[in-house]
Each structure stands twice: as C-alpha cells, then as structure tokens.
Amino acid sequence: MLTRNLSDVIVVGAGVVGAACAAYAARAGLRVTVIDRGGVAGGTTGAGEGNLLVSDKAPGPELELALLSTRLWSELASGLPAAVEYEAKGGLVVAQDDAGADALAAFAAGQRKAGVEAEEIPADRLHDLEPHLAPGLAGGVHYPGDAQVMPALAAAHLLREAGDAVTLRLGEEVTAVLRGPAGEVRGVRTPRGEIHAPYVVNAAGVHGGELARLAGVHLPVMPRRGFVLVTEPLPRVVRRKVYAADYVADVASGSAALQTSAVVEGTPAGPVLIGASRERVGFDRTLSVPALRRLAAGALALFPVLAGVRAMRTYAGFRPYLPDHLPAIGPDPRAPGLVHACGHEGAGVGLAPATGLVVAHCLTGGEPPLDLGPFRPERFPAEAMSA
C-alpha cells in the first residue's frame, strides 16, 4: 500500500472552511494536504449564498468569531475583490409590526454593546435604503458590516493563495484515521493509500461526524437542508441582503420541522437569491414544493416588484448542524492531533477566515485570538446523537 509522508497537517474537506484552514496553516509555514471526496466547494459551500453576516448573531462567542472574520474577509478581499466577488453591501433586517420593531431594536442594542455597527431605521426611511420594499413595514435595522462573496470562488482563492504549500487530493474519500498506540493521530487512509501527518483537521462539513467516528470520537453533526430560489437577471432592485426579523429565530431554532423566513438579496451578476428554509431530513435532496412556495411568498411579501419575475432555478444544500448552534473548533483531547473545524451550519462562509486562523494557532502552538472554550469539540456527551 502506498504510504506518503509529505505533510505537517492533513485537512479533510475542500469547502471554504477547509480552504481557510489550509491557507492560514500555509501562512504559518506548514505543509498541507487537502483531501475531499468531491471537488473544491463541492458540498455545502457550493450550495451557499456566500453571506458574511454579523446581523443575525446575538452577543456571545459566535458573534466574536464573526467580528474577527469580518475583518479578515476585508483584508483578504482588499487586493482582489473581484476574485471572490466581495461586496460590502450591508444588510437590512425589517419588522412587520411595532412589536417586531421593538424586539429588533432591543436585539441591535445588545449587538452594539458587543461592537456591531447597527443603525435603527424608522418606517419612513426604509425606502431610502431599499426603494422597492413593500409598504407598511414597521421599521428595521441596518447593518453596514454585512457583506457577501461568491463562495466557490472564495474557497478556490484561499487554496490558490496558499500556493505550493498545499497539495490537493480531490475525489478521494478518507476511509480511516490512523492512530498510534496512545490514541494519537498519525494520518489518514484513502483508497489510494496512507498519508501520514501528525495533525488531521476535520473540516468535513456535514460529514464531520463521520470523520470524527473514524477517529474514535463523538461529534453529533447532522445535515440541515435548505433551498435557494434564483431569479432571472435583473437590474439592481434589491441593493442589500434584506430579511424578515423571524430569520434570526429560525437560525437559532433546533426544530427538525420545515421552517422558512424571508431572505432576499441581489447579486452583482443580476439574479436575486431567495431563501431561507431549514429542515432536518437527513441527506434527502428531494425537491420540496411546499418549501419553495413559502420562499416565493415570503419574498413577494417583502418585494412585491418580484411578482412578475421568473425563477430560473432552485438548488438544495445541507448545513452542518450541531445541537447548540456553535461550531466545533480546536483540538480534540480524546484523539491527540485531531483538530476540528466543522459544524458552522449556515455561517461557514462568513466564519471561515477566523476558523482558519484559530486552527493555524492550534497547529503551531500559538495563542488563539479568542476563547475556544465554547467551541470545544468534546462538549457533547455520547448520548447527544439523534437521528
């Protein structure tokens, strides 16, 4: 069997999180092998909208990670924004009634204390920001820090930036994690042979739980399906990412049932992206007509101007969901040498650079830029796994 000893670290997963881990590890002087069962951005990343959001995160560890990532994305995109279609367009969260507007204002006040730029927008000013919004909305909050990238381009750019320090092995599935007599990680096995390295990074997204099991540890990552509607190209009728206030509650919900909340955003290329739905149905890709109808209805409630616009296509993706809605990031004491970077659910693109930076610090013995306690991978008891 072929054995290779070319790397300091093996990153399993070539989505945007894995690409960021590889890029920051390479910056730290490490040799990296990236392995993926498919292609670059072939899973959750390629099915995402590329949102870089702080607007949907309550004060706490995920918001701290998002604020760090916002700065890092801005730095990454500063030289070549077109390379990743980076657009610092901002976000607008709107409320249907006075109670919703009050709740939004209270949420934004807490975020501001945590360092988020959030401006309350009264009802009579909403159309200054989004001229085509429906009438009768009660108000909203504008988040200038929200941005967007094209996720597949972003993953490819991060890997390209790492240059010769990264070796890509695509279309190759990890079938075993190699461990030594004391349980330490020694590399991985694929159908093409063994690859040895003292560290393995679990950036396998929705398959992160499977990789953890191969290493003999428990991480209850589950897929959470979502659909996106894509319209025909339009003039810029939607300037920002605009969503209804109930989106924040849906993101934080642990329900397995279908949930939809109106999320509408324009893109530089012209099509409007419409979401968002969430449901836990395993890896079932069956088209859900009820979900798509609810997405379309929610979009029309916010932007009646879309009533005559054709939906050109729809696609499904699976968010890597963990029960407490926080990713697993950092070393796993149950398997020395195993470092996790998965379970970001729908925020992986936005949180990727900060995750990559943290992982690079873990690999090189540096001090992480934030407290990793809330993200520790061993926080889930074995019985936490559910169907």
Based on the fold, state whether residues 251 and 291 are members of the same structural domain.
yes
Please give the share of the chain, as a percent, with pLDDT higher than 90: 84
Based on the fold, state whether residues 131 and 267 are members of the same structural domain.
no
pLDDT tens track for 268-322: 889 999 988 889 999 999 989 999 999 999 999 999 999 999 999 998 999 999 9
Q: What pTM did the predictor assign?
A: 0.94
For residues 86 and 154, give the distance between their C-alpha atoms in angstroms, rounded to a whole number.
9
In the block, tokens 């013995």 appear at 365
pLDDT tens track for 53-74: 999 999 999 999 999 999 999 9
Based on the fold, state whether residues 184 and 139 are members of the same structural domain.
no
For residues 41 and 60, give the distance between their C-alpha atoms in angstroms, rounded to a whole number.
29
Residue 213 CB-half CA count within 13 A: 9
Q: Which residues contact 131 (CB under 8 A, 6 or more apart)?
A: none
- Position 334 scores a pLDDT of 96
CB atoms under 10 Å from CB of 78, counted, come to 9
Based on the fold, state whether residues 242 and 313 are members of the same structural domain.
yes
Examine the fold and report which residue of 318, 352, 370 is the final residue of a domain before the chain moves on: 318
Full residue range of the structural domain in which residue 138 is found: 91-144
pLDDT tens track for 123-175: 999 999 999 999 999 999 999 999 999 999 999 999 998 899 999 999 999 99
**67 is a domain residue:** no
Nearest to 210 by CA among 162, 168, 174: 174
In this structure, which amino acid lies at residue 313? R
User: Which ranges of 97-150 would DSSP assign to H, the alpha helix?
Assistant: 98-113, 126-129
Please give the share of the chain, as a percent, with pLDDT higher than 70: 95
Based on the fold, state whether residues 362 and 348 are members of the same structural domain.
yes
Based on the fold, state whether residues 232 and 376 are members of the same structural domain.
no
Based on the fold, state whether residues 226 and 303 are members of the same structural domain.
yes
- Position 385 scores a pLDDT of 41
Average confidence (pLDDT) over 216-231: 95
CB atoms under 10 Å from CB of 40, counted, come to 22
Based on the fold, state whether residues 162 and 23 are members of the same structural domain.
yes
- Position 387 scores a pLDDT of 36
**74 is a domain residue:** no
Q: Average model confidence (pLDDT) for the chain?
A: 92
- Position 4 scores a pLDDT of 54
- Coil, strand or helix: which one is 200? strand
Based on the fold, state whether residues 337 and 211 are members of the same structural domain.
yes
Based on the fold, state whether residues 299 and 353 are members of the same structural domain.
no
Domain CATH number, residue 234: 3.30.9.10
**354 is a domain residue:** yes
Examine the fold and report which residue of 83, 109, 144 is the final residue of a domain before the chain moves on: 144
Please tell me the total count of domains within the chain.
3
Based on the fold, state whether residues 374 and 295 are members of the same structural domain.
no
Q: Which residues contact 94 (CB under 8 A, 6 or more apart)?
A: 126, 133, 137, 139, 140, 242, 243, 244, 245, 302
**86 is a domain residue:** no
Read off the pLDDT band of 98 (50, 70, 90): very high
Question: Please, are residues 140 and 156 in contact by the beta-carbon 8 Å criterion?
Answer: no
**57 is a domain residue:** no
